[in-house]
Amino acid sequence: MVRQSRKTSWVKSWWNRVTAWLRINPANSKGNGHKRTSFGYTAAVWQRASAIVFRPIGEPKTLKVSPPLRIDTPASYPLPQAKLGYFNLHGLVDAVEWFGQSDPEGSSPKASSKQAVENQVADEGLDYPVAVRPQDVQSGGSSPDIVFTEACYGNHIIGRQVDEALSLKFLQAGCQAVAGSTCTSYGSITAPLIAADFLGHAFWNYLRQGCPAGEALRRAKISLAREMHQRQGYLDGEDQKTLISFVLYGDPLALAGGLKVQSKSILRSLKPPIRLKMICDRQHEEEANQPIPADVIAHAKQIVRQYLPGMEDAQMLYSHEHNNCGKPGQPCQSSLGGPDANKGKATGAAAETAPKRRVVMLSKQVASSDHMHQHFARITLDEQNRLVKLVVSR
């Protein structure tokens, strides 16, 4: 009886793994070569934000989540065939893979019974499972036509061969355009969307309207700049970094198949662009040599406990947003008063609108079996110590 029970359990486990693999890879089970419209893959810790970003091109409930999903075999694990691919996974400067990341609170939306079957291929105890590798990107028409990735270093290709960068592997496999960041990428935990999340949501919306990929990214950047300028009164360091670091490789005229198509044109406003106000939040030398105020530390830790469990013991850096950087050898053009503000004295309108917010930068390293995972979070506080903005690295 015991032997029979063990055999039944083994067969059931084997069958669950097979059906899970087929569900994750529908092209393998259908064999008809038709691509679905979209495919989304997110780390568990950012699942809520990813669901909003993915909504313009697909049902949030279809997002794949890691963990529990992971790659635990040296064999290739081909991604589902889809015309549009969205990846909000964890990336590293010294790794070719993109990783999942567990939710420290375990508070991501509960999986359905159908999803639970797919989770049989997972090890929920692994905090940073490998989610995608170059060998999992298949040629022969199965690669997405257009990819947007929020992974840190998702489009970092300097000194790398095709098999050492997922963005290059996508292009080699037939992907027409890949949009992503060349360095650390930041996003939100949940709504309202910020940084890379806002950019991705806008990018997919413009693609749906029929814009080519390059034009969609251009308009998405304009939308991000306009929105953050309206929310804050200026663009902070993270806004500027997002606008600069996200680039597109491939064909800027690539169109999203299966969606509305319009002529491959670029629209330009007849009105002159508004002059965006920008600030710098680099830490001044005098700030580095002074202790962080106790009230700032206490409030930052309270925010971390609520939104970023697991970062309570992170290192802290403290700075003020300012409109005159003054760093030797690094002239800063990001000033409310324009280039003249870098002379060390803000006057007129610049003085009236000088930023008074504080920024707390958290950093922490977490070692896994093969890599050192670096995490950053930026907390912006106003004069009353109220939370203005919270972004976390991807």
DSSP string, 53-105: HHTTTS-GGG-EEETT----SSS--PPPPEEEEEEE-EE-TT-SSEE----TT
Same domain for 306 and 193: no
Give per-residue pLDDT as tens, 324-361.
665 555 555 554 444 444 444 433 333 344 567 888 88
Provide the pairing of β-strand 36-43 with 64-66.
parallel
pLDDT of residue 362 exceeding 90, the answer is no
CB neighbourhood size of 218 (10 A): 18
CB neighbourhood size of 175 (10 A): 22
Q: What percent of the chain has pLDDT over 70?
A: 70
Same domain for 375 and 228: no
- Please report whether residue 156 resides in a domain: yes
Rounded mean pLDDT of 56-78? 85
The secondary structure element, H or E, covering residue 43 is strand 36-43
Query: Tokens 């070692």 sit at which residue?
Result: 367
- Please report whether residue 2 resides in a domain: no
Rounded mean pLDDT of 86-101? 92
Bridge partners (DSSP) listed for residue 378 = 361, 391
Same domain for 339 and 197: no
Rounded mean pLDDT of 110-118? 38
Higher pLDDT, 65 or 317: 65
Give per-residue pLDDT as tens, 244-273.
999 999 999 999 875 555 555 555 665 666
Supply the CATH number for residue 146's domain: 3.40.50
- Please report whether residue 16 resides in a domain: no
Please spell the DSSP secondary structure of 188-242, one letter per residue.
Answer: -SSSSP-HHHHHHHHHHHHHHTT--HHHHHHHHHHHHHHHHHHHHSSB-HHHHHH
Higher pLDDT, 3 or 173: 173
- As a whole number, the mean pLDDT across the chain is 76
Domain boundary among 203, 228, 250: 250
Give per-residue pLDDT as tens, 147-161.
999 999 999 999 999
Tell me what pLDDT residue 388 has: 83
Same domain for 208 and 70: yes
Tell me what pLDDT residue 237 has: 85
Q: List the structure tokens of 133.
A: 């590798």
Question: 95-104, 124-133, 317-326, 385-394 — which is least confidently predicted?
Answer: 317-326
pLDDT of residue 119 exceeding 60, the answer is no
Tell me what pLDDT residue 280 has: 77
- Please report whether residue 122 resides in a domain: yes
Same domain for 125 and 197: yes
pLDDT of residue 52 exceeding 90, the answer is yes
Same domain for 77 and 222: yes
Tell me what pLDDT residue 30 has: 39
Domain boundary among 207, 226, 250: 250
Tell me what pLDDT residue 271 has: 63
Same domain for 63 and 107: yes
Of 206, 209, 196, 82, the residue nearest 146 (C-alpha):
82
- Please report whether residue 183 resides in a domain: yes
Tell me what pLDDT residue 188 has: 87
Query: Tokens 């079957």 sit at which residue?
Result: 117
Tell me what pLDDT residue 225 has: 93
pLDDT of residue 77 exceeding 60, the answer is yes
CA-CA distance, 173 to 168, in Å (whole number)?
9
Question: 49-63, 171-185, 259-273 — which is least confidently predicted?
Answer: 259-273
Tell me what pLDDT residue 256 has: 81
Task: Say if residues 63 and 53 touch (Cβ distance below 8 Å).
Answer: no
Reported as a pLDDT band with limits 50, 70 and 90, residue 377 is confident
Same domain for 299 and 208: no
- Please report whether residue 259 resides in a domain: no
Bridge partners (DSSP) listed for residue 379 = 360, 390
Higher pLDDT, 286 or 253: 253
Tell me what pLDDT residue 288 has: 64
Same domain for 210 and 150: yes
Same domain for 213 and 324: no
The domain in which residue 224 lies consists of 35-250
Same domain for 213 and 87: yes
Tell me what pLDDT residue 277 has: 81
Give per-residue pLDDT as tens, 188-229.
887 889 999 999 999 999 999 999 999 999 999 999 999 998
- Please report whether residue 61 resides in a domain: yes
Give φ, ψ of 167 to 5 degrees: -65, -40
Higher pLDDT, 374 or 123: 374
Question: 29-38, 173-182, 304-313, 332-341 — which is least confidently predicted?
Answer: 332-341
Strand, helix or coil for residue 378: strand
Reported as a pLDDT band with limits 50, 70 and 90, residue 376 is confident
- Please report whether residue 331 resides in a domain: yes
Tell me what pLDDT residue 183 has: 93
Rounded mean pLDDT of 283-287? 66
Number of folded domains that form the chain? 2
Same domain for 88 and 212: yes
